[in-house]
C-alpha cells in the first residue's frame, strides 16, 4: 500500500452506524448460539452457520471498503511504445468495427492489434479496411490468455492496453492511464467496466426517479477503490493497461484457469508489483442482455476464482501482504454466497412443512428483541458501507437470480481443467429462458406450499407455536417476492436484434 495516495474514509456518521452494528452482532450472535434447538441439531447448526458466514463476509467487505482511494490521472510520459490488443473469437464484425475504430482513434501514439482466435477471413478484411494490425494462430490453446501470450511473441511494446471485443475506449483512455507508469513498480492500471446498453439484464431503472442501478456498480465504484488502497485491485481482463516487463517477469498472462485476469493479478502482486485502479469511466461495453449469458459469465468467474484459490493458495502463498490475502479471500469466498442464500431460501420451508424449529421456544418477544435490531442494523450498515451503490432490495434480487449459478461455480474447486466459456455478445435473446429460472420457480413453489402447510397446521410436528408460524410465513413471503421479481425480470426483457441500437432524437418538419 502506498500511504501517499489520498483516500476517503467512511465519515463519522457512517462509522457510528457500523459501530452500533458491531455491538448488535456481539449481542446477537452469541445469544443465537445459545438457543439452538438440539432436537433438530443439524438443521439448527447449518442455519446458524449461514448467519455466521454472512457476518464474516460483511467483516471482510468492511475491511476492503473502509477507505477508498481518490486518484487523479498524472500526465502521460512521452515516448512509450504502446500496443492496443483486442482479442476475438466469434463476435460480430459490426461489434469489432466499433471497438477497433475507437481504439485506433485514441490519443497518444500506439499500434492497434486485432487478435483473431476464430481465424475468420472477414476479420482479416476488417483489419485491412480500417488500418489496424491482424494476428491469428493455428490453435486456441489456453483461450484468451493464450491469444494474448501469442501476441507477446510478435509485438514490441512497453505497455499493452487490452479491450474485449465489445469495449469501446474513449479518446483519452491512454492519456489518462499511462501517467501511472512513471512509477516503475506499477504493473497495471485498471479502469471501470461500464456499459452502454442500459436495458441489459444487470441494469435496473427506477421509473419514478429515472435513476439507473447496475449490479456491477458496487464492485467498480466501491470495492475496486477499496482494494486499491491495499494494493490489491484486480486486473479485470479489459479496459486495462499492463507493463510488458512485469508480464515477462511472471511468464506472461497466467494460464491454467478460466479467469486469466484474476490469476495474472495475483501473480503480479506476489511478485511485489503495484497495481492502480483509476476510477474514471474511459470505455463502454455490452452487458449481458438476458439471463443465460449473465449466469454463464458468473459461473465462469466463480469457477476461475476456485481454480486460482486452489492453485495459488490465497491465504498461505508467499509474496502477498496480509491485507492482500484478506482482499483476495474476500473476493473468492463471495461465490459461496450461493450456498448461504440457498439455505435461507429453503429454511422456512423445512420449518413450515416438517416442523423443524431452528431455535428453542423462547417466546416471540425475546426472539424479536434480538432478531430485529441485528438485521435492521445489518441492512443499514450494508447501505452505509457501500456509499449508496449497494442497494438492499436490488442486491437481494440479484442474489436470488444467481444463487444457483454461484453454487455450481464453487464446484470448480474440484475440477482441474475447465473449458473457457466466452460470454455471448450477440444482442438477441429468445423466449427459451424458462430453464434458467427453474431454481427460482422451485423456491417460489416450495415456499407457497409451505405457507399452506403452516396455515392449516399440516407440519410434521403438528401446529407450530404462533410466533414461529408467523415469522416463517413472513420469511417465505419474502422468498416468494424475490423469486417473483427474478421471474418477471427474466421473462419481460426481450431483445430480438443481433446488434445493439441507440435511440437518436431527430428534428423534422411536416
Query: Does 428 score more than 80 pLDDT?
Result: no
CB 433 within 8 A of CB 335: no
Per-residue pLDDT, averaged over 249-270, amounts to: 97
Per-residue pLDDT, averaged over 126-149, amounts to: 96
Query: Does 455 score more than 80 pLDDT?
Result: yes
Among 98-112, 204-218, 410-424, 463-477, where is mean pLDDT lowest? Answer: 410-424
What are 41-99's pLDDT values in tens digits?
999 999 999 999 999 999 999 999 999 999 999 999 999 999 999 999 999 999 999 99
Query: Does 426 score more than 50 pLDDT?
Result: yes
Per-residue pLDDT, averaged over 151-169, amounts to: 98
DSSP 8-state secondary structure symbol assigned to residue 359: B
Q: In which band, very low, low, confident or very high, does the pLDDT at 503 lie, cut at 50, 70 and 90?
A: low
- First CA to last CA across the chain, in angstroms? 64
Query: How far apart, in whole angstroms, are the C-alpha atoms of residue 234 and residue 240?
Result: 10
- Comparing CA positions, the residue from 233, 215, 178 lying closest to residue 68 is 233
Query: Does 422 score more than 80 pLDDT?
Result: no
CA 231 to chain centre: 19
Mapping DSSP onto H, E and C, the string for 170-199 reads CCCCCCCCHHHHHCCCEEEEECCCEECCCC
pLDDT at position 2 is 45
pLDDT at position 419 is 67
Residue 499: exposure state from Cβ atoms within 10 A (0-12, 13-18, ≥19): middle
pLDDT at position 282 is 98
Mean pLDDT of the chain: 93
Share of the chain above pLDDT 90, in %: 84
CB 266 within 8 A of CB 181: no
Query: How far apart, in whole angstroms, are the C-alpha atoms of residue 297 and residue 299?
Result: 5
Q: Which residue has the higher pLDDT, 501 or 131?
A: 131
pLDDT at position 502 is 60
The cell for 123 is 476479420
Per-residue pLDDT, averaged over 13-41, amounts to: 96
- DSSP states of 232-253: -PPP-SSSEEEEHHHHHHTTSS
Per-residue pLDDT, averaged over 396-417, amounts to: 92
Q: Where do runs of H (alpha helix) occur along 91-233?
A: 93-104, 121-130, 143-152, 217-218, 224-229
SS3 68: strand
Query: Does 427 score more than 60 pLDDT?
Result: no
Residue for grid cell 495459488? 312
Q: What is the Cβ-side half-sphere exposure of residue 391, based on CA atoms within 13 angstroms?
A: 15
The residues, any chain, with a CB within 8 Å of residue 169's CB and separated by 6 or more, are 99, 102, 103, 106, 161, 163, 239, 282, 283
CA distances from 85 to 111, 132, 195 (A): 9, 10, 19
Query: Does 496 score more than 90 pLDDT?
Result: no
What are 276-297's pLDDT values in tens digits?
999 999 999 999 999 999 999 9
- Comparing CA positions, the residue from 41, 56, 247 lying closest to residue 160 is 247
CB 313 within 8 A of CB 224: no
- DSSP states of 5-45: S-EEE--HHHHHHHHHHHHHHHHHHHHHHHTB-GGGHHHHH
Query: Does 127 score more than 60 pLDDT?
Result: yes
Sign of the Cα torsion 113, 100, 427, 292 reads positive
pLDDT at position 5 is 83
| CATH 1.20.1270.10 correct for 82-287 | no
pLDDT at position 1 is 44
Q: Which residue has the higher pLDDT, 421 or 13?
A: 13
CA 13 to chain centre: 28
Query: How far apart, in whole angstroms, are the C-alpha atoms of residue 223 and residue 230?
Result: 11
pLDDT at position 437 is 96
Q: In which band, very low, low, confident or very high, does the pLDDT at 337 lie, cut at 50, 70 and 90?
A: very high
Pairing of the two strands 203-205 and 111-116: unpaired
pTM for this model (two decimals): 0.93
In the chain, what are the domain boundaries? 7-65+334-491, 82-287
Q: What is the Cβ-side half-sphere exposure of residue 47, based on CA atoms within 13 angstroms?
A: 23
Amino acid at each position: 500500500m502506498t500511504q501517499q495516495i489520498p483516500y476517503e474514509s467512511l465519515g463519522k456518521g457512517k462509522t457510528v452506524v457500523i459501530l452500533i452494528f458491531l455491538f448488535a452482532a456481539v449481542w446477537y450472535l452469541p445469544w443465537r448460539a445459545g438457543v439452538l434447538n438440539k432436537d433438530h441439531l443439524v438443521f439448527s447448526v447449518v442455519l446458524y452457520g449461514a448467519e455466521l458466514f454472512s457476518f464474516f463476509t460483511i467483516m471482510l467487505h468492511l475491511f476492503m471498503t473502509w477507505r477508498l482511494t481518490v486518484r487523479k490521472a498524472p500526465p502521460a510520459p512521452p515516448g512509450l511504445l504502446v500496443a492496443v490488443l483486442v482479442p476475438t473469437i466469434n463476435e460480430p464484425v459490426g461489434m469489432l468495427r466499433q471497438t477497433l475504430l475507437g481504439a485506433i482513434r485514441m490519443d497518444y501514439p500506439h499500434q492497434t492489434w486485432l487478435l483473431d482466435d476464430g481465424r475468420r477471413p472477414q476479420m482479416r478484411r476488417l483489419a485491412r479496411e480500417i488500418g489496424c494490425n491482424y494476428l491469428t494462430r493455428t490453435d486456441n490453446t489456453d483461450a484468451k490468455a493464450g491469444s494474448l501470450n501469442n501476441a507477446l511473441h510478435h509485438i514490441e511494446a512497453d505497455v499493452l492496453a487490452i479491450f474485449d471485443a465489445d469495449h469501446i475506449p474513449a479518446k483519452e483512455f491512454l492519456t489518462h492511464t499511462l501517467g501511472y507508469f512513471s512509477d516503475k513498480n506499477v504493473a497495471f492500471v485498471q479502469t471501470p467496466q461500464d456499459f452502454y446498453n442500459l436495458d441489459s439484464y444487470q441494469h435496473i431503472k427506477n421509473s419514478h426517479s429515472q435513476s439507473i442501478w447496475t449490479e456491477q456498480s458496487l464492485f467498480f465504484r466501491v470495492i475496486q477503490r477499496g482494494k486499491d488502497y491495499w494494493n490489491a485491485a484486480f486486473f479485470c481482463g479489459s479496459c486495462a493497461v499492463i507493463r510488458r516487463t512485469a508480464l515477462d517477469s511472471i511468464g506472461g498472462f497466467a494460464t491454467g484457469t478460466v479467469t486469466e485476469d484474476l490469476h495474472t493479478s495475483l501473480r503480479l502482486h506476489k511478485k511485489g508489483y503495484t497495481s492502480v485502479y483509476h476510477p474514471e469511466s474511459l470505455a463502454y461495453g455490452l452487458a449481458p442482455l438476458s439471463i443465460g449469458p449473465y449466469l454463464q459469465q458468473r459461473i465462469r468467474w466463480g469457477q476461475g476464482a476456485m481454480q486460482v484459490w486452489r492453485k495459488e493458495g490465497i491465504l498461505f502463498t508467499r509474496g502477498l501482504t496480509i491485507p492482500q490475502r484478506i482482499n483476495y479471500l474476500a473476493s473468492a469466498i463471495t461465490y459461496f454466497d450461493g450456498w448461504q442464500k440457498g439455505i435461507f431460501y429453503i429454511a422456512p420451508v423445512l420449518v413450515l412443512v416438517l416442523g423443524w424449529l431452528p431455535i428453542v421456544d423462547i417466546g416471540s418477544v425475546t426472539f424479536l428483541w434480538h432478531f430485529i435490531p441485528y438485521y435492521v442494523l445489518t441492512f443499514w450498515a450494508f447501505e452505509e458501507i457501500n456509499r449508496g451503490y449497494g442497494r438492499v432490495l436490488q442486491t437481494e434480487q440479484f442474489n436470488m437470480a444467481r444463487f444457483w449459478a454461484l453454487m455450481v461455480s464453487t464446484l470448480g474447486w474440484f475440477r482441474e481443467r475447465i473449458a473457457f466459456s466466452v460470454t455471448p455478445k450477440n444482442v438477441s435473446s429468445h423466449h427459451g429462458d424458462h430453464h434458467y429460472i427453474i431454481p427460482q420457480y422451485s423456491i417460489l413453489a416450495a415456499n407457497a406450499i409451505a405457507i399452506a402447510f403452516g396455515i392449516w397446521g399440516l407440519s410434521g410436528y403438528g401446529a407450530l407455536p404462533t410466533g414461529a408460524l408467523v415469522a416463517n410465513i413472513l420469511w417465505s413471503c419474502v422468498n416468494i417476492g424475490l423469486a417473483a421479481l427474478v421471474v418477471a425480470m427474466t421473462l419481460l426483457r426481450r431483445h430480438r436484434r443481433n446488434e445493439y441500437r441507440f435511440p437518436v432524437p431527430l428534428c423534422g418538419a411536416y
